[in-house]
Amino acid sequence: MNIQKAKGTYDILPNQVYYWQHLENLIRKICETYNYKEIRTPIFESTELFVRGVGESTDIVSKEMYTFDDKGGRSLTLRPEGTAPVVRSYVENKLYVDGQLTKLYYMGPMFRYERMQKGRYRQFYQFGVEVLGSESPIVDVEVIALSVQLIQALGLKEVKVAINTLGDQESRKAYREALINHFTPVQQELCSDCQKRLNQNPLRVLDCKVDRNHPSFAKAPKMSDYLSPSGKDHFDTVLNYLDLLKIDYVIDESLVRGLDYYNHTVFEIMSNVEGFGAQTALGGGGRYNGLVEEVGGPAVAGMGMAFGLDRLILALEAEKVAIANQNYLDAFIVTMSESQEALAMKLLQTLRQNGIKADKDFNNRKVKAQFKQADKLNAKFTVLLGETEVQQNRVVLKNMKTEVQTEVAIVQLVNELKLRLEE
């Protein structure tokens, strides 16, 4: 029987991995530029963390978690998202004690038992940032600015930033009640998910893809009518600063995001490129001022966002952004016979110890086949151990592009190669 990959997962093969490495390198560089530090948390956590931190009524907790009991009878869950684990770690390690702003980023696999489709997997990769310790709306702007800089640095153009506010606790509560009053008379006409959501988390009804065209939606109350003065101030400052930094956005009052913990600013970054598929959200995030307390910590405000790396890669492909393939060699050593094996291996080691990306054949192939292999591996130079040359402690260096060959003393090989690789 052939064993195949588990449903909803995929392999990233060597001929695609350079896309990922490029993306990961860029993410690290931009996070460093913005003074965010990396944090790595475990792949699995107590189930309770996500139930409390993400919210029982969310799709994630109610139907998408990979939950299992370990041999000690503890209920564990493969992390479905990164914020709750980071906040758990922040609280557990008391990162708040110095009273400073804590700016963190993470990158890694997440797991959700979802219906498979293009851009939606059961194991997928997220990069996210979390800023803990400030209620300032300018922090929201920084997080959006970082997200937009990443999109621009990647070379993606067909992208839209949508933004909304859910207001502070007070505004959110008033709005919540208005939604319940509005939708209750038509509750029976809504999908079964929305019937449940209406009482648990009515904001999520607005997000429903099934009921979107129901006539009651067009007349639904708007958050902006329920914003308290402080909620409005917060949002206005965010918008003013986005304008100041010349970051384009559209206000989308139906944007509520899927997780329970958001308040104030929420935003999403979407791909507009044609043929991208139904899953257009590349990333998004928002403010979560009550979450740290919910997870057992002090009253510390938070703001964060997460991008799906899988979808960023799909967007790069859809927009045909060229990324240099790093699959090349500086040098490939070609031997004339098996008797040269020891010398070849010694030379190879010397090249590698000097930072020269080099390889050789390990299957006693004929000279012609070795040159073919060098070509296939995109070797810039071959180092041929010619019989007579080797007797004189020399080798033949061939530039594979120009096909120019020169003899080089073995002791000079590293220097000579380095010089020519710089040309």
CA dist list (Å): 216 to 57, 115, 251 = 23, 28, 21
**Quick one: 105 or 124, whose CB is closer to ligand AMP?**
124
> How many residues of this chain bind ligand AMP (CB under 6 A)?
18
| Among 85-93, 206-214, 306-314, 372-380, the segment contacting ligand AMP (CB under 6 A) | 306-314
Q: Which amino acid is at 263?
A: N
H or E element in which residue 67 lies? strand 66-69
- Identify the sign of the CA torsion 368, 370, 371, 375: positive
- CA 115, CA 245: separation in Å to the nearest integer? 39
E strands along 112-213, which residues?
A: 123-132, 159-165
- For the segment 311-370, give every residue that binds ligand AMP (CB under 6 A): 311
Which residue lies nearest ligand AMP, judged by its C-beta?
308
Question: Of 40, 298, 38, 287, nearest to 144 (Cα)?
Answer: 287
Closer residue to ligand AMP, CB minimum distance, 311 or 380: 311
Give the binding range for ligand AMP (CB under 6 A) out of 113-121, 191-199, 379-387, 415-423. 113-121
Stretch (H or E) spanning 78: strand 75-78
Cβ 31 to ligand AMP shortest distance, Å? 17
3-state secondary structure of 362: coil
End-to-end CA distance of the chain: 53
Task: Based on the shown chain and the rule CB under 6 A, indicate whether residue 306 belongs to the binding site for ligand AMP.
Answer: yes
**Footprint of ligand AMP on residues 210-239 (CB under 6 A)?**
none
Q: Write phi, then psi, for 266 (nearest 5 degrees).
A: -125, 145
Tokens (6 digits) for 324: 């240099």
CB of 402 to ligand AMP, least distance (A): 45
- Residue 256 C-beta: closest distance to ligand AMP, Å: 11
Is 81 a binder of ligand AMP (CB under 6 A)? yes
Please list every residue from 263 through 282 that binds ligand AMP, using CB under 6 A.
281-282
- Helix 14-33 with 137-154: angle, nearest 10 deg: 140
45 binds ligand AMP (CB under 6 A): no
The least distance separating ligand AMP from the CB of residue 109, rounded to whole angstroms, comes to 10
Question: φ and ψ at 84, to 5 degrees?
Answer: -60, -45
Under the criterion CB under 6 A, does residue 308 sit at the interface with ligand AMP?
yes
**How buried is 326 (Cβ within 10 angstroms: 0-12 exposed, 13-18 middle, 19+ buried)?**
exposed
Residues 241-260 that bind ligand AMP (CB under 6 A): 258
CB of 267 to ligand AMP, least distance (A): 11
120 lies in the binding site for ligand AMP (CB under 6 A): yes
Binding of ligand AMP at residue 283 (CB under 6 A)? yes
Give the interface with ligand AMP as residue ranges (CB under 6 A).
Answer: 81, 112, 114, 119-121, 124, 126, 258, 281-284, 306-308, 310-311
